[in-house]
């Protein structure tokens, strides 16, 4: 008797070595860029994996693209490629769609149409979620559908599932992450003394780690979008990414990396969400991270996230934050979770970005407590420390260490003065720094950086 297609079928290949009846879930993809091609390759070339791991094959039924004539680096079976979105939307066999189109529009319109056609959504589009998450999640709930988005944050690192599921027994105390591979490549290179910001950015672009317009990476916006998503999962924070205080890496100088090393630190662009007495502190900024701690050792274009839970303590995740196959790995994991029904459960129980869920209070950024690194460019003269420490004293800031590099003296008789403070507030650290910069022996382009607390953050 023939098996009752399409729900049960025998597949000779690729399941020849594992000949049991395998169910099919029909799936679609919208967008066939780098990640889309990676997802298609995993589904087409490695159907045996989903059969083994999900008890079913994810059968790629439609791939919707704008231009069907464009050359692509993946061979799709005949009849799969189309420029007609309705063909996918109207196919009632298809239960889930991976939306792999970047940017806000038309991604947003397509996402809504997918949900309205009764299909579950999987997406890697972080900008879309950062801008329209609440609206899309509400729509999905109204329609009884789900949205999975593992690939939207930290690429191959399964941080969404780990926060949404694995660490559920914890009150999360902090999330600190290196969430942008472009900037981590640049600061790693600067830390190793291989170039300044400008030349490292050019090298990142040459290697494909940075886009032609890297503004959103460099200025911390990309990391802030990801942090907004993680902060919602970990703390229930309902915050728009643009409201997260952020600072990019453009102003970092090679000397700062050298001085940080001498103090026992590396400079990294850190996305930080930390529970404090006055609420949740959120920031994206270059910070000094203690050498020998896991985040300090994250090199080149890798991403990493440190989560501290009150029960589990610190847990650290490290992996490829972008790239075709790492991102495709996360998308296909989501497709499997959706096909087998895990996503539906998680989506329903977590009530993400829902009006009815309580939101945590966001703390005033000036109240954030940390140690600070100041690097001042001063005229080499006697008695500079007295007025500097007088100002700091007035703001209640005590100095942990000071050093002056006479060997870094430039022709103009200007030398760097590096100060590490004890813990103080962002507000006081900023105000004292401003005032110090007005002293007549202090030259422009001074630097002020926060130090990552190695226990809490």
User: Site residues (CB under 8 A) for a copy of itself?
Assistant: 17-18, 20, 38, 42, 46, 49-50, 52-56, 150, 156-158, 161-162, 165-171, 236, 292, 294, 297, 309-320, 323, 325-326, 328-333, 336-337, 340-342, 345-346, 348-351, 356-358
CA proximity to 270, closest of 240, 255, 239, 249 = 249
Q: Other CB atoms closer than 10 Å to residue 221's CB: what's the count?
A: 20
Distance CA 150, CA 167 (A): 15
Where in 312-398 does DSSP place strands (E)? 313-320, 369-379
Residue from 24, 226, 268, 450 carrying the catalytic annotation: 226
How far apart are CB 345 and a copy of itself at their closest, in Å?
A: 5
How far apart are CB 23 and a copy of itself at their closest, in Å?
A: 10
Asked if 344 is an active-site residue, the reply is no
Which is closer to a copy of itself, CB of 340 or CB of 399?
340
Transcribe 31-44 into DSSP letters: --SHHHHHHHHHHH
How far apart are CB 35 and a copy of itself at their closest, in Å?
A: 11
Give buried/exposed letters for 76-90 (b at 16+ CB in 10 A, else e): beeeebeeebeebbe
Which is closer to a copy of itself, CB of 104 or CB of 207?
207
Q: Other CB atoms closer than 10 Å to residue 193's CB: what's the count?
A: 11
Which is closer to a copy of itself, CB of 161 or CB of 238?
161
Which is closer to a copy of itself, CB of 283 or CB of 346?
346
Q: Other CB atoms closer than 10 Å to residue 342's CB: what's the count?
A: 17
Which residues, 6+ apart, have CB-to-CB distance to 217 below 8 Å?
180, 182, 183, 210, 211
**Ordered alpha helix ranges (H), 395-445:** 426-436
Which is closer to a copy of itself, CB of 76 or CB of 166?
166
How far apart are CB 109 and a copy of itself at their closest, in Å?
A: 28
How far apart are CB 72 and a copy of itself at their closest, in Å?
A: 18
Q: Give the residue numbers marked as catalytic.
A: 226
């Amino acid at each position: 008797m023939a098996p009752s297609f399409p729900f049960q079928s025998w597949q000779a290949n690729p399941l020849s070595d594992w000949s049991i009846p395998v169910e099919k879930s029909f799936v679609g993809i919208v967008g066939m860029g780098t990640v889309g091609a990676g997802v298609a390759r995993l589904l087409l070339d490695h159907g045996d994996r989903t059969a083994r791991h999900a008890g079913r094959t994810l059968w790629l039924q439609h791939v919707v693209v704008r231009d069907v004539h464009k050359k692509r680096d993946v061979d799709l079976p005949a009849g799969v490629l189309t420029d007609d979105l309705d063909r996918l939307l109207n196919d009632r066999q298809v239960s889930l769609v991976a939306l792999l189109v970047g940017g806000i529009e038309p991604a947003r319109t397509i996402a809504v149409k997918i949900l309205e056609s009764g299909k579950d959504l999987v997406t890697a589009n972080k900008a879309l979620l950062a801008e329209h998450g609440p609206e899309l999640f509400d729509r999905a709930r109204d329609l009884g559908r789900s949205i999975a988005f593992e690939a939207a944050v930290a690429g191959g690192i399964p941080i969404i599932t780990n926060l949404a599921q694995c660490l559920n027994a914890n009150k999360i105390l902090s999330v600190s992450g290196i969430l942008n591979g472009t900037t981590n490549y640049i600061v790693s290179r600067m830390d190793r003394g291989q170039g300044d910001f400008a030349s490292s950015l050019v090298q990142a672009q040459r290697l494909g780690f940075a886009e032609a317009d890297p503004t959103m990476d460099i200025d911390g916006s990309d990391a802030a979008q990801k942090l907004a998503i993680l902060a919602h999962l970990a703390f229930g924070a309902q915050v728009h990414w643009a409201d997260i205080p952020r600072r990019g890496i453009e102003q970092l100088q090679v000397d700062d990396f050298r001085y940080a090393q001498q103090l026992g630190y590396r400079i990294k662009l850190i996305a930080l969400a930390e529970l404090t007495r006055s609420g949740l502190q959120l920031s994206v900024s270059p910070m000094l991270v203690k050498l020998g701690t896991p985040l300090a050792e994250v090199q080149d274009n890798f991403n990493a996230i440190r989560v501290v839970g009150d029960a589990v303590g610190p847990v650290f995740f490290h992996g490829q934050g972008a790239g075709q196959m790492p991102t495709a790995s996360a998308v296909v994991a989501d497709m499997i979770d959706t096909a087998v029904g895990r996503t539906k459960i998680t989506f329903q129980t977590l009530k993400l970005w829902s009006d009815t869920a309580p939101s945590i209070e966001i703390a005033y950024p000036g109240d954030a407590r940390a140690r600070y690194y100041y690097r001042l460019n001063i005229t080499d003269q006697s008695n500079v420390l007295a007025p500097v420490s007088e100002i700091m004293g007035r703001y209640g800031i005590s100095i942990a260490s000071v050093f002056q590099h006479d060997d870094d003296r430039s022709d103009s008789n200007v030398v760097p003065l590096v100060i590490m403070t004890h813990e103080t507030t962002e507000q006081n650290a900023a105000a004292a720094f401003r005032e110090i910069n007005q002293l007549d022996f202090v030259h422009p382009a001074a630097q002020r950086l926060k130090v990552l607390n190695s226990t809490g953050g």
